[in-house]
Amino acid sequence: MTSTRRLAAALACALAAVLSGSGCAVIPVGGPFPVDEAGSGDSVTVPFQRMVAVEPKKEWSAQQVVEGLQAAMAAYGDDPSILPKYLTEEARRVWKPDGAVTVIDNAFRFDDIVENKEKKETIVTILGTKIAQINEDDTYVPVAPAEDGKVTRAITLVKDAAGAFRVNLLPQGLLLTDADVRRAYRPTNLYYLNGTSAGDREPDRLVADRVRLRVKPTESFAQTVVERLIEGPTSALEGAVGNEFPVKARVRSIRSSEDRVVINLAGPFTADTFLEGLKAQLRASLSYNKLASGRTLEVQIDGEPFSVTGPLVIEPSLPEKWLGSEDNQVFYTSHGAVQMMRGDGEGEPLVGPAGQPGGDHSGFAIAKDRDRVAARSAAGGIWVTRHAAEARWQESIPGTELTDPSWHRDGTLWTFDRHNGQVLRSHPAVSRGPEHVAAPALQGMDVTSLRMARDGVRVAVRIGTGQVQVGALNGGGAGAMLSNFHLLTMAERDDKILDIAWGDGDHLLVLVQTKAGQVVKEINVSDGETTQLPTTSKLLTSLAAVGEIILATTEDGKEILEFARDKQTWIPKPATAVDGPLFPLG
């Protein structure tokens, strides 16, 4: 074989190998084969759309310029460079975007345009209804239906040298429509701890703090959430909850891969950081906002493992401890005795004096581990008995005009002394109390009901029958104080708020008697988001709830109705002659 022929043969072989290789490169048929689990891509961002502001055109009318200004306000968070182009020099100097954001409904309109020829001004007035405002701490405060939310914003325009309208005078702050807010903001739950690791007892529950966060195009939403989480709670929970992130902590980056999200933080983390709490805060604040779901979180400090012992890894599921599945055993009172509802729906009297009928006690409350029952005596004062055969009623808080007692999860018993206008607290287990707890916001208020939430942080008070306020238990031990109160709901004119009951940590059920009938509202205490439950033809007298379960008693039949969420209707329970349903705590 000559060298040429050998070479030709070698080339033919190479060509055949390449061609056969490329010929086989089609999708192979076969299977089934096991498939690797793959995540759905990026788990730390949310899809969102933004308003894109455009610069004003010379030919635009005054109203169009105001519409453009409106769009520029909506886009201001993303691109602050356009809005000033709508303003005159003077307006640019005077106007500030800071402060609360006013949210008006989508149905705003423009009033008749007024032209002041003397001043060469054109005034365009926006007429709308304020539906909420977003405060600087990101809380979303809806306008109560009872309030008059009419908004009138007069905007003064002048023509510039080129003959185009420019805004010369406008109210301070941003004015957004509901659509703008829905587009750019996301309702977000931030989770804090019901206490601090440095306090009397270790935190065991997460407390949700609801904010509206603006989605930033330049960073992942997870980063926005964690940054806001680090900043601390809103004014509603300030001082009342624990935040395991140090004040100067910040987020360097958040990277997402198929099965892991790496959170790179910076800041003065110390060795005594309560890691369990920090992990729970991060996990809950991301997962409950549908971020990093199903993925392991890894926390790094300045790109290094969290501690010398290794990386801080947070599993995809939140530990059971923090989930706080509360005791959902149903109790009810009947003829002055507390009954425990068995599985078949029938009642079984409690062991001990609380289960004895015929007493003159009312307003029963069951402590956390069902070990104690408190009630208001007709003779006055709050009395407590243990859940045992030999137990006796003992007076825990004396007084004449006390509200129904409410147990705190730490074993303290709370009530409001209407006579003296102060909040009282006792600790029956250690025979301490009663003691006065400061509540400056409640001074002079007609508090008719005081309920401690099951997370031990929030407190709801009914003022008269007209409004409900929610506050928080601030500080611990002797320095405890009820503060941060804000209006949650207000009855319109002749309506009456009949009862309140805590569902979970951030939902309060309110039973309202209106002229048209009764209404049960489930209100998110953080942002006032209200769900109105379907009504029943039967008149309801009292509410009790835990988690998703909502119970009410009827006035006439003295029966217990349970709200079935799936069917959106009230279903009666077998027990009869019921005064009111009860759950431990709440």
Partner 1 sequence: MGRVRRVWRRSLQLQVVTSTLVISVIVVVVLGAFLSDQINNSVIEGRQQSAASDASADRLRIADALTREQDDQAKPADAKNVPANPLDEVMDAIIGTGGDGSKTRYEVLILNRAEPGQSRASGKVTPRDVPPALQQMLRRQAEKFIDRPQRSTQPIRFAGEAQPTQTLVIGAMVNLSDGYEVYHFFPISDEEQMLSNVRLAIVVVGFGLVLLLAAIAYLVTRQVVSPVRLARQAAERLAAGKLDERLKVRGEDDLARLATSFNEMAVNLALKIHQLEELSQVQRQFVSDVSHELRTPLTTVRMAADLLYDAREDFDPMASRSAELMQAQLERFESMLADLLEISRYDAGAADLDLDSVDVRDVVLRAIADSEALAERHSTRFELRLPNEPCLAEIDNRRVERILRNLLFNAIEHGEGRDIVVTVGADRDAVAVAVRDHGIGLKGGEENLVFDRFWRADPSRARTIGGTGLGLAISREDASLHGGWLQAWGQPGEGSQFRLTLPRRAGVDLKGSPLSLVPPEIEMRRTWRGHQMTPVLLPAVGDGGGHDVD
By the criterion CB under 8 A, which residues form the site for partner 1? 1, 3, 6-7, 10-11, 13-15, 17-18, 22, 40-42, 45-57, 60, 64-65, 67-71, 74, 79, 105-107, 109, 178-179, 182-183, 217-219, 290
Q: Residue 72 Cβ, how far from partner 1 at the closest point, in Å?
A: 8
What lies within 8 Å, CB to CB, of 231 at 6+ separation is: none
For partner 1, the closer of residues 106 and 400 by Cβ is 106
> Strand runs (DSSP E) across 66-224, as ranges?
101-104, 109-110, 114-116, 121-134, 140-142, 150-159, 165-169, 175-177, 185-193, 206-214
For partner 1, the closer of residues 121 and 219 by Cβ is 219
d(CA 77, CA 282) in angstroms, rounded, equals 25
Q: Residue 254 Cβ, how far from partner 1 at the closest point, in Å?
A: 13
Collapse the DSSP code of 505 into the 3-class scheme (helix H, G, I; strand E, B; otherwise coil) and give the result: coil
Q: Residue 50 Cβ, how far from partner 1 at the closest point, in Å?
A: 5
Q: Does an H or E element contain 6, and which?
A: helix 3-23
Q: Residue 127 Cβ, how far from partner 1 at the closest point, in Å?
A: 10
For partner 1, the closer of residues 13 and 571 by Cβ is 13
For partner 1, the closer of residues 1 and 389 by Cβ is 1
Task: Let me know the angle formed at the C-alpha of 578 by 576 and 579, rounded to the nearest 5 degrees.
Answer: 165
Phi, psi (degrees; rounded to nearest 5) at 326: -85, 165
Considering only CA atoms, give the Rg of the chain.
31
Q: Residue 124 Cβ, how far from partner 1 at the closest point, in Å?
A: 12
For partner 1, the closer of residues 109 and 117 by Cβ is 109
Q: Residue 316 Cβ, how far from partner 1 at the closest point, in Å?
A: 16
d(CA 178, CA 133) in angstroms, rounded, equals 10
For partner 1, the closer of residues 182 and 368 by Cβ is 182
Going by DSSP bridges, is the β-strand pair 361-366/580-582 parallel, antiparallel, or unpaired? unpaired
Side chain identity at 165, as an amino acid letter? F
| Length of the chain counted residue by residue | 586
| Residue listed under structure tokens 């601390």 | 232
Q: Residue 185 Cβ, how far from partner 1 at the closest point, in Å?
A: 11
For partner 1, the closer of residues 64 and 356 by Cβ is 64
For partner 1, the closer of residues 8 and 94 by Cβ is 8
Here the tokens at position 287 are 């997962």
Here the tokens at position 584 are 């431990």
CB atoms within 10 A of CB 47: 7
State the Cα torsion 542-545-548-552 to the nearest 10°. -20
N- to C-terminal Cα distance for the chain?
98
For partner 1, the closer of residues 52 and 313 by Cβ is 52
Residue 437 falls in which region: left (phi positive, over 0), alpha (psi -120 to 50) or beta = beta
Q: Residue 349 Cβ, how far from partner 1 at the closest point, in Å?
A: 48
d(CA 150, CA 240) in angstroms, rounded, equals 34
For partner 1, the closer of residues 53 and 193 by Cβ is 53
d(CA 542, CA 520) in angstroms, rounded, equals 10
Q: Residue 77 Cβ, how far from partner 1 at the closest point, in Å?
A: 13
Q: Residue 567 Cβ, how far from partner 1 at the closest point, in Å?
A: 24
